[in-house]
Amino acid sequence: MATRKFLPAAAGRTIPGVPSQKEPEMPQTPPGTTTVLTFSDADAGLSWPADDWAAALEPPTVLIADDDEGVRDLIGTRLRAAGYRTLIASDGRTAMALALGERPQLVLLAVDMPGLDGFAFCYELHSSPQTAHLPVIFISARAEPAEAELARVVGAEDYLVRPLDPADVLRRVQRLLHH
């Protein structure tokens, strides 16, 4: 027969046979004493310029690159409602300029776009050291395994097929940005 131990249900209670867990005692500072702690960047081994703090407080930015205005509006509305900042592009060249200039944290990318298709965009994006880390989610009208595999080969993290469920798009964006 297995022996079972049950933990106390509330603080301060004890159960026979179960060791009690006391909270560690904190050192006491005598009344009227002030403790001053000083740190330097060299002590911490970190460099945190004000710009980095400001960037950390801004909402994540998602670039939506799709030649279909309805898709851009649908996804953009859902992401903005969830607190994301969105950048919008209707063609591949504009999307690339935004990716390089604005540095989004994620790209939602249509496979078929004028100027630069999704595969060429993703390959070019991940060829640059400045943007190689950006996660990309492809959007396609075709549910073809070969196309999904090619998307992964050029660096896509995910592949969605239209029609899109905005809630599903949001979940996938959140998974990639907040893993």
155 occurs within a structural domain: yes
Span 103-119, mean pLDDT?
Answer: 97
CATH number at residue 118: 3.40.50.2300
Is residue 24 in some structural domain? no
Domain for residue 145, yes or no? yes
Query: What are 124-134's pLDDT values in tens digits?
Result: 999 999 999 99
Which structural domain, as residue segments, surrounds residue 107? 60-178
**Cα–Cα dist 73/88, whole Å:** 9
Residue 94, in any domain of the structure: yes
pLDDT in tens, 64-86: 999 999 999 999 999 999 999 99
Residue 47 lies in a domain: no
Cα 106 to Cα 65, 113, 160: the distances in Å are 11, 18, 15
Q: Does 67 map to a domain? A: yes
Q: How many domains does the chain have?
A: 1
At residue 51, φ and ψ (nearest 5 deg) are -60, -40
Residue 116 falls inside a structural domain: yes
Q: Within a domain: residue 16? A: no
pLDDT confidence of residue 58: 87
